[in-house]
């Protein structure tokens, strides 16, 4: 064949800005105007200080708790639940299995504080994603939140603190320094709890000797494999074990408050593995908490980290298998700027591939659901439950990835038979909900603009109802792909 993909026309710059980099158009956006200076449109957002933060000044966010308060609420609820269970338990009955499907747990006596906090945090995140334009920064928040994921399925304490974790450890740094985000994430109670470091004890520490307990290498391994260097970058089992020892003592203060304010991060010197440690060929002198901090600082600057982050960013914004030149460029910027994430965001916008490669990725479940909401407006009532249910149906419940590697960032994971069928169900529900929606033909012009294909235009024009036309628009390739 003489034709090749490189001869294909470059995508509409408005769709690159709105879909590849953003969370999708709202009816008030004007693709035609955005196309005139799409790069500038994106870069303007990066100049705005604190753009990623969820504002506490907004009365809608007034009820959000910081992680310490959220964890304390969960601890108190947990203690009440335990007391209620103990009061009910009769010695003759079989020990109840602690699964969610056990009928004895069906009616909690104690109000589900954690579920309430989770719902409020979810609402705040959806509000933020539905709000500002163009929302490139909000896409970066989603990227980093998935990179440094925790899962609410781990424990009630994580359910209560996952939202605060994102607001405290991710959002403040998405246009800051990678090393700062790394440190904030790894010392956050939600992460220490999720990856089990809370209970990891140096075998030669005072606590280890007294209680005969020892290391849990989960956090150390995932920091090296997932958060920084990446798998196969040269570290070995000995490095994982060493690093796990360095991280001992990084924990959360318990309910009794012996080590500090309950639910807050503390360094427990009693549990810290003493002595100097060699990690990745470098020796770190004994030094309590500073030992692992120094190691994290070094790992954050490691060339393998730069390459790992560059590859993941390029995969997220360009293509499942991104071009090597783009990855090289991002890795170079990461290394040269010492992990300046604002510089990295600017470099992403300036990648020529971002404006020439076809919009071939599918929107991720979260981005699809948000794009649907942005298109049809916020739903009436029953929020955020409906949006949370959609995410669950698409296999990516909010803050609940299947493992510490987060949700997949590859199209073939989403373009499955079941995934497409579920998108159709969602498009239909959303279209039915938008009772007084505008004319779907006008919506197409507002959301996709001039580059909509003739077939899409015709399918929508011929729809048998407004609802059907709107559902077709929400299923159109121009709406699904980015």
Partner 1 sequence: MSLLCETPNPSRRTVLLTGGALFAWAYLPRFARAADRRDPRLIVVVLRGALDGLSTVGPFGDPDYAGLHGDIALSLSGHNAALPLDGFFALNPAMPAFARLFKAGQAAVVHAAATGYRDRSHFDGQDGLESGLPGPGNATTGWLNRALASLPAGDRIAKAGGLAVGPSTPLVIRGAAPVIGWAPQALPAPGDALAERVIDLYSHRDPVLAAALQRGLDADRLAMSDQLDTKTTKPKGGLDNAAGMRQSAQGAAKLMAADDGPRIAALAFDGWDTHVNEGGATGRLANLLGGLDGAFEEFEKGLGERWKGTAIVAITEFGRTVRINGTVGTDHGTGTVVLLAGGAIKGGRIIADWPGLRPAQLYEGRDLAPTSDVRAVLKGLLADQFGLSAAVLGDKVFPDSAAVKPMRGLVV
Q: How far out from the chain centre does Cα 433 lie?
A: 28
How many residues does the structure list for the chain? 482
Judged by CB, which is closer to partner 1: 101, or 256?
101
Q: Largest Cα–Cα distance of the chain, in whole Å? A: 79
Residues in 410-449 at the binding interface with partner 1, rule: CB under 8 A? 412-422, 424-429
Place of tokens 């964890």: 71
Residue 17 binds partner 1 (CB under 8 A): no
Contact assessment for residue 196 and residue 240, using Cβ atoms and an 8 Å cutoff: no
CB of 383 to partner 1, least distance (A): 16
Q: How many helices (H) and strands (E) does the chain have?
A: 25, 4
With binding defined as CB under 8 A, does residue 93 bind partner 1?
no
Residue nearer to partner 1 on the CB measure, 41 or 317: 317
CB 210 within 8 A of CB 131: no
The tally of CA atoms less than 13 A away on the side-chain side of residue 347 is 23
Please compute, for residue 78, the number of CA atoms within 13 A of its CA located in the half-sphere on the CB side.
15
- Measured in whole angstroms, the distance separating CA 11 from the mean position of its chain's CA atoms is 27
Separation of alpha carbons 378 and 396, rounded Å: 20
- Looking at 124-132, 158-166, 211-219, 347-355, which segment touches partner 1 (CB under 8 A)? 211-219
Distances, alpha carbon 215 to alpha carbons 1, 197, 202, 242, in Å: 59, 9, 6, 10
Rounded to a whole number of angstroms, the minimum distance from the CB of residue 182 to partner 1 is 19
Q: Report if residue 8 touches partner 1, rule: CB under 8 A.
A: no
Residue 59 vs 212, nearer CB to partner 1: 212
Q: Binding to partner 1 by residue 468, rule CB under 8 A? A: yes
Contact call for residue 456 and partner 1 (CB under 8 A): yes
Residues 213 to 242 in contact with partner 1, rule: CB under 8 A: 213-218, 221, 225-226, 231-232, 237
475 lies in the binding site for partner 1 (CB under 8 A): yes
Q: How many residues bind partner 1 (CB under 8 A)?
A: 69
Asked if 101 is part of the footprint of partner 1 (rule: CB under 8 A), the reply reads yes
Span of 10-18, 31-39, 117-125, 451-459 interacting with partner 1 by CB under 8 A: 451-459
208 binds partner 1 (CB under 8 A): yes
Compute the least distance from the CB of residue 201 to partner 1, in Å: 5
Q: Which stretch binds partner 1 (CB under 8 A): 132-140, 163-171, 193-201, 256-264?
A: 193-201
Are 440 and 471 contacting, i.e. CB atoms less than 8 angstroms apart?
A: no
Identify whether the C-beta of residue 216 lies closer than 8 Å to the C-beta of residue 203. no
348 close to 416: Cβ distance less than 8 angstroms? no
Q: DSSP assignment, residue 97?
A: P
For the CA atoms of 170, 173, 179, 182, what is the dihedral angle to 10 degrees? -10
- Binds partner 1 by CB under 8 A, chosen from 97, 103, 107, 435: 97
Quote the tokens at residue 252.
């959360």
Binders of partner 1 among residues 328 to 357 (CB under 8 A) are none
Q: Which residues in this chain contact partner 1 in the complex, by CB under 8 A?
A: 95, 97-101, 153, 196, 199-201, 203, 208, 213-218, 221, 225-226, 231-232, 237, 321, 389-390, 392-395, 397, 400, 402-403, 405, 408, 412-422, 424-429, 453, 455-456, 459, 463-464, 468, 471-472, 475-477, 480-481
């Amino acid at each position: 064949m003489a034709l090749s993909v490189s001869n294909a026309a470059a995508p509409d710059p408005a769709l690159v800005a709105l879909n590849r980099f953003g969370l999708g158009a709202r009816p008030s956006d004007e693709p035609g105007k955005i196309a005139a200076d799409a790069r500038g449109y994106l870069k303007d957002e990066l100049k705005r200080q604190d753009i990623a933060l969820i504002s506490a000044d907004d009365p809608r966010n007034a009820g959000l708790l910081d992680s310490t308060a959220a964890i304390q609420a969960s601890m108190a609820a947990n203690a009440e639940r335990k007391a209620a269970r103990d009061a009910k338990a009769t010695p003759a009955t079989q020990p109840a299995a602690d699964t969610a499907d056990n009928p004895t747990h069906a009616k909690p006596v104690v109000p589900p504080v954690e579920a309430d906090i989770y719902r409020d945090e979810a609402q705040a995140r959806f509000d933020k994603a539905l709000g500002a334009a163009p929302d490139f920064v909000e896409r970066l928040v989603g990227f980093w939140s998935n990179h440094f994921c925790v899962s609410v399925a781990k424990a009630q304490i994580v359910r209560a603190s996952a939202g605060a974790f994102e607001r405290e450890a991710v959002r403040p740094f998405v246009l800051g320094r990678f090393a700062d985000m790394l440190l904030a994430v790894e010392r956050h109670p939600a992460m220490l709890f999720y990856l089990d470091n809370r209970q990891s004890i140096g075998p030669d520490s005072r606590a280890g000797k007294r209680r005969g307990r020892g290391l849990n290498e989960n956090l150390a391994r995932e920091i090296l494999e997932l958060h920084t260097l990446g798998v196969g970058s040269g570290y070995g089992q000995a490095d994982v074990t060493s690093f796990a020892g360095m991280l001992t003592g990084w924990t959360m203060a318990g309910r009794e408050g012996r080590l500090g304010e309950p639910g807050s991060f503390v360094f427990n010197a009693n549990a810290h593995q003493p002595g100097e440690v060699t990690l990745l060929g470098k020796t770190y002198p004994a030094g309590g908490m500073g030992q692992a901090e120094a190691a994290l600082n070094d790992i954050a600057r490691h060339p393998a980290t730069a390459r790992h982050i560059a590859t993941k960013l390029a995969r997220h914004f360009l293509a499942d298998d991104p071009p090597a030149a783009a990855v090289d460029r991002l890795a170079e910027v990461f290394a040269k700027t010492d992990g300046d994430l604002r510089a990295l965001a600017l470099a992403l916008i300036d990648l020529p591939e971002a404006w020439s490669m076809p919009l071939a990725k599918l929107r991720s479940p979260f981005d699809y659901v948000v794009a649907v909401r942005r298109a049809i407006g916020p739903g009436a009532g029953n929020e955020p439950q409906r949006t949370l249910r959609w995410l669950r149906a698409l296999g990516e419940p909010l803050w609940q990835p299947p493992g510490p590697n987060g949700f997949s960032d590859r199209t073939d994971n989403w373009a499955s038979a079941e995934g497409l069928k579920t998108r159709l169900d969602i498009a239909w529900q959303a279209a039915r909900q938008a009772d007084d929606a505008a004319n779907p033909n006008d919506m197409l012009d507002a959301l996709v603009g001039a580059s909509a294909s003739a077939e899409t235009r015709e399918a929508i024009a011929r729809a048998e109802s407004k609802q059907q036309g709107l559902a077709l628009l929400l299923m159109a390739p121009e709406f699904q792909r980015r």
